Amino acid sequence: MQSYFDNAATTPLDPRVIREMHTALLECYGNPSSLHRTGRMAREAVEKARAQVASLLRASPEEIYFTGSGTEAANLALMGVCAERESDYHIITSQFEHPAVAETCQALKRQKSNHRVEVSFLPVNSEGFVEPSELVKALRKNTKLVSIMAANNVVGTLQPITELGRITHEHGALFHTDAVQAVGKIPFNLASQPIDLLSLSAHKFNGPKGVGALFVRKELKLSPLILGGGQERGLRSSTENVAGIVGMGFAAELAKQEMAEEASRLVRFRDRIIESVTTNIPNAYLIGDPYRRLPGHLCFGFQGQEGEAIRLLLTLDEFQIAVSSGSACSASHADEPSSVLMAMGMNPIQARGSLRVTLGRFNTDADVDHFLEVLPKATAQLRSIKTNFHPTNTNFQKRGHS
């Protein structure tokens, strides 16, 4: 049985979610836009799921719009704000955003229009955080939108989005957060947090792939990306993926009910792994702040062996341990340095060499035991490569060491 430690890439479908989706596939097969009883059943299922997602976020159901993915939701947030610009716009994001945001910002810069979109990319510090003071310095008179992720997908650090949102609002701009990695793992209260737009994806909290959502604060108007029949109140045309939406809604309900208990369990696993790895593997170091991170998210480097990350991953796979060397979205560029780690100050060799270990709902003590038994043996087999790396920042040091 595989020990699955790649929950940041995707989470296994919860069996309870599968049962809800199975029922929806059998009984809610109508088109939600149809007026007959079968269509009304499908519509009721979609609206129930909308309320479940809204409840998880402490938002209103009318602020939730279903999409085909978290990536689509992020694209809709950024492009929807900038679509009908009447003057030059300025957007601020960070240097280590997910491509769903980073590539969209670059595309907006390249668009030919009478009015330009300029983008500023905020630096991140060596612990993996965007400093609020950097946002203050970057704001301009024509700043329209700030987009900072809630939790980084590679290192797991939690960004100070409430403070960043407050600064943004004080300036009169809109604030979007890519919360794909964070929703279902940490609490949100969008009724009070200074967030105008938030993107999320079902498959990151034990729901199905192929369905996401965008929170849009009530008074905010966006231009759609997909035109057609006017579904999702005109913002996202396309016949709704009823079973997927039902699965997302039920996964959101489960996450709301079980988040506190699950987070406590994952933090216990996480801290045990940090302590064991940095104690028992001489050249291991944790990347990112040890505490201000997602409950089950870890990222390690191995000094002098960073160039062997892919070999380490494959060795662990032989022992039925699934981990990653970074974002799943960058797996096709595994030979290239991680832009996230480069933004944090690592050199190109170090930035190729992280091991991302992400825990989830179905991990057990036995999984952790197996991982901690195999990892020291696997790293001992790796060859050393000189990287001229001398840790000087606490996030690159052994926990509790100077």
Q: What is d(CA 42, CA 40) in angstroms, rounded to the nearest whole number?
A: 5
Instruction: For the chain, list the domains and their CATH numbers.
Output: 3-9+259-396 (3.90.1150.10), 15-255 (3.40.640.10)
* 64-67/284-286 β-pairing: unpaired
Residues tagged active-site: 329
Q: What is d(CA 148, CA 318) in angstroms, rounded to the nearest whole number?
A: 37
Q: What is d(CA 279, CA 400) in angstroms, rounded to the nearest whole number?
A: 10
Looking at the DSSP bridge assignments, the partners of residue 356 are 299, 324
Q: What is d(CA 378, CA 316) in angstroms, rounded to the nearest whole number?
A: 7
Q: Are 356 and 325 in contact (CB under 8 A)?
A: yes
List Cβ neighbours of 86 (8 Å cut-off, separation of 6 or more).
115
Least Cα distance to 226 among 46, 76, 376 occurs for 76
Per-residue pLDDT of the chain (402 residues; tens, 9 = 90+): 789 999 999 999 999 999 999 999 999 999 999 999 999 999 999 999 999 999 999 999 999 999 999 999 999 999 999 887 778 899 999 999 999 999 999 999 998 777 789 999 999 999 999 999 999 999 999 999 999 999 999 999 999 999 999 999 999 999 999 999 999 999 999 999 999 999 999 999 999 999 999 999 999 999 999 999 999 999 999 999 999 999 999 999 999 999 999 999 999 999 999 999 999 999 999 999 999 999 999 999 999 888 888 899 999 999 999 999 865 554 445 567 899 999 999 988 888 889 999 999 999 999 999 999 999 999 998 876 554 444 434 344 443 332
Tokens of 83: 């679509």
Handedness of CA 6, 11, 12, 14 (dihedral sign): positive
Q: Angle, nearest 10°, between helix axes 15-27 and 242-280?
A: 170
Q: Angle, nearest 10°, between helix axes 309-318 and 365-380?
A: 130
* 143-147/89-94 β-pairing: parallel
* DSSP labels, 319-374: TTEE-BSS-GGGGGGTTSPPHHHHHTT--TTGGG--EEEE--TT--HHHHHHHHHH
Least Cα distance to 152 among 103, 96, 70, 197 occurs for 96
